[in-house]
């Protein structure tokens, strides 16, 4: 029996739909799920999910916020759920998946298409995103100055009168 981990980075509504396709695509795999604390109870209802791991943080998945339970724990496949078609916006989860020992990594999108992603591909995407972040940071510094001044002027106008 091989080990498969699903990272629940999308809603249960999507997991509900993706799960049957994952089972079909990965027969003979024991399925585990990683979810935030508030997702544990709904996750327990799925008979096909053998084990639930709790992501022990309030914040979103991030490479710096590792899961202690996964130390030394190998998986044959790790699947990241993405709530769109391309997976854009889920770079943080993909990088988090690199903190888990896995033979193969996949994304499963909104319409249950499953495609493999390589560790090199994730890292290359990250480099590109770092460039975007640099550009966005510069733009934000300028925009935030105007925004702060604007909001401080507007604060009283939009305040609720008691």
Window of 24-32, 100-108, 115-123, 154-162 that interacts with another protein by CB under 8 A: 154-162
Residue 15, classed as helix, strand or coil, is helix
Distance separating alpha carbons of residues 19 and 6, to the nearest angstrom? 9
Pick one of 1, 13, 68, 120: the residue that binds another protein (CB under 8 A).
13
122 binding another protein? (CB under 8 A): no
Distance separating alpha carbons of residues 162 and 160, to the nearest angstrom? 6
Backbone angles phi, psi at 3, to 5 degrees: -105, 130
Distance separating alpha carbons of residues 16 and 20, to the nearest angstrom? 8
25 binding another protein? (CB under 8 A): no
Residue 54, classed as helix, strand or coil, is strand
Q: Give residues 62-81 in contact with another protein (rule: CB under 8 A).
A: none
Q: Give residues 43-62 in contact with another protein (rule: CB under 8 A).
A: 44-47, 58, 60
97 and 122 in contact (C-beta within 8 Å)?
yes
Strand partners, 105: 78, 117
96 binding another protein? (CB under 8 A): no
Pick one of 27, 68, 72, 137: the residue that binds another protein (CB under 8 A).
137
99 binding another protein? (CB under 8 A): no
Backbone angles phi, psi at 39, to 5 degrees: -100, 0
Pick one of 69, 85, 123, 124: the residue that binds another protein (CB under 8 A).
85
Q: Which residues bind another protein (CB under 8 A)?
A: 13, 16-17, 19-20, 37-38, 40-42, 44-47, 58, 60, 82-86, 88-91, 110-111, 129, 132-133, 135-137, 139-140, 143-144, 147-148, 150-151, 154-155, 157-161
């Amino acid at each position: 029996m091989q080990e498969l981990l699903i990272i629940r980075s999308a809603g249960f509504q999507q997991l509900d739909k993706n799960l049957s396709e994952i089972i079909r695509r990965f027969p003979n795999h024991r399925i585990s799920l990683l979810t935030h604390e508030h997702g544990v109870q709904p996750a327990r209802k799925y008979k096909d999910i053998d084990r639930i791991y709790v992501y022990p943080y309030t914040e979103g998945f991030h490479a710096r916020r590792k899961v202690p339970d996964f130390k030394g724990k190998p998986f044959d496949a790790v699947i990241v759920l993405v709530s769109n078609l391309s997976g854009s916006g889920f770079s943080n989860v993909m990088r988090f998946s690199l903190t888990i020992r896995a033979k193969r990594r996949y994304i499963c999108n909104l319409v249950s298409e499953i495609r493999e992603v390589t560790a090199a591909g994730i890292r290359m995407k990250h480099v590109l995103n770092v460039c975007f972040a640099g550009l966005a940071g510069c733009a934000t510094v300028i925009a935030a100055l105007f925004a702060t001044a604007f909001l401080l002027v507007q604060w009283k106008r939009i305040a609720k009168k008691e």
